[in-house]
Chain A
Amino acid sequence: MTLIVKTVTRLTVGLILIFGIYIILHGHLSPGGGFAGGVIVALAFVHLMLAFGEDVAVSKISRNLASHLESIGALMFLGVALLGFLGGSFFLNILIKGSPFKLFSAGTIPLSNIAIGIKVGVGLFAIFLALVILEKSKGAK
């Protein structure tokens, strides 16, 4: 990619990542939540891959780490759901629910959002990695 794209990427990719994390964490206060924030986090890494090539992006999150983080995200979500059994019912919201409109409120909802955000973000990046592998094997033939 050209020099302009590389320079702008270097400046903005950190901001995109932080913006994605902001949307995940404030999922119970403003629109967004786990899925939308996860897609933005994935786009930060895909942006890095498009501008600098696959090797730089893989050095940040390798293929093995992506696969593990995906499963850990799903197991974390299942764990949060099973936590409700301690309170009596599946998926019950049992942590403290503070006063509305504060960041640390609404019980288990922020934890679910973080689990979904990890899974979607890393999963979408892994899909792009898999498509790049197919391109590479086709180009090498």
Chain B
Amino acid sequence: MILYMLCLMLFCVGLYGVLRKRNLIKIIVGLGIMEYSMNLFFVLLGYRFHGRAPIDAQDQTILNMVDPLPQALVLTSIVIGLGVTALVISIAIRMYEKYGTFDITKIKRLKG
């Protein structure tokens, strides 16, 4: 139970980073922390008592395994996180070229 609370606390740390930091790169780091804490939470949901890794080996009999479905889904989610991070970093680098700063309080041409 306390592990789940720690995961959600890590999610809140990431959310704080996105909401309050002024540098573009720190916002991206906060977004990354949020996504990885979600993945960790989802994998931890699959834990079964006294379970071991869900991999079949050749000449061993396995009694109980942890749930393999969250592990497959988290693999997909990590790839999605990679895609979003790559896109957002490219946009941030281009913005530095056009605006000359990484500070979001100065990047404010769209208003109203």
Contact = CB atoms under 8 A, between A and B. Distances in A.
Interface residues of B, number: 14
B93 to A, nearest CB: 5
Contacts of B86: 127
B32 to A, nearest CB: 16
Contact of B93 (A30, A120, A134): A134
A31 interface: yes
| Majority SS at the chain B contact face | helix
Contacts of A31: 53, 55
Contacts of B58: 101
B89 A131 contact: yes
A45 interface: no
B74 to A, nearest CB: 11
A138 interface: yes
Contacts of A30: 55
B110 interface: no
8 contacts: A35-B79, A100-B56, A101-B58, A120-B79, A124-B82, A131-B90, A134-B93, A134-B94
Interface of A: 30-31, 33, 35, 100-101, 120, 124, 127, 130-131, 134, 138
Interface of B: 53, 55-56, 58, 75, 78-79, 82, 86, 89-90, 93-94, 97
